[in-house]
């Protein structure tokens, strides 16, 4: 397999623009762990193995358990493993990531406004959009996770 281009070197201005969106999300009211959960779920949907691996490692560093990381892909069937807030984050992430299906539903939007407020809802939407953009780079450029030493 031929190695594909390095986006940060070939198109640094574009890469830096996307990195600026990341900085916005970092400065948001979304907790560190919730940001990683959003990133993992979107990356699973988009089939970006590089990002799933990267953000699962970051979630573990924040204290997330292996069990919860494994169950993100099946969060609806996981019972009470995730909080209601986390379930809402996953549902929003899925609807925005799969925007071609029906967009962000009025029901989820209204729940988000009620629970998170307008500012944090806007920040969540931007977090989902940003990881989706990174996923598209990762998948397009065939980026793969590296094996960790045992």
Residue ranges per structural domain of the chain? 14-140
The CA-based angle 38-10-40, given to 5 degrees, is 10
pLDDT tens-place values along the chain, 150 residues long: 688 999 999 999 999 999 999 999 999 999 999 999 999 999 999 999 999 999 999 999 999 999 999 999 999 999 999 999 999 999 999 999 999 999 999 999 999 999 999 999 999 999 999 999 999 999 999 999 987 666
**pTM, full prediction:** 0.95
Q: What residues contact residue 106 under an 8 Å CB cut-off, 6+ apart?
A: none
Fold adopted by 14-140? AhpD-like (1.20.1290)
Compute how many other C-beta atoms are within 10 angstroms of the C-beta atom of residue 76.
Answer: 11
Helices 106-140 and 12-26, packing angle to 10 deg: 140
């Amino acid at each position: 397999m031929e190695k594909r281009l390095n986006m940060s070197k070939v198109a640094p201005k574009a890469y830096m623009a996307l990195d600026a969106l990341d900085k916005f999300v970092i400065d948001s009211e979304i907790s560190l762990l919730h940001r990683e959960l959003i990133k993992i779920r979107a990356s699973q949907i988009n089939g970006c193995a590089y990002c799933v691996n990267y953000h699962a490692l970051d979630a573990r560093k924040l204290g997330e358990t292996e069990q919860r990381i494994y169950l993100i892909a099946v969060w609806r069937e996981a019972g009470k493993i995730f909080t209601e807030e986390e379930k809402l984050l996953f549902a929003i992430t899925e609807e925005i990531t799969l925007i071609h299906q029906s967009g962000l539903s009025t029901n989820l939007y209204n729940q988000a406004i009620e629970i998170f407020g307008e500012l944090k809802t806007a920040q969540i939407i931007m977090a989902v959009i940003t990881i989706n953009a990174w996923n598209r780079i990762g998948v397009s450029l065939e980026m793969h996770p590296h094996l960790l030493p045992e």
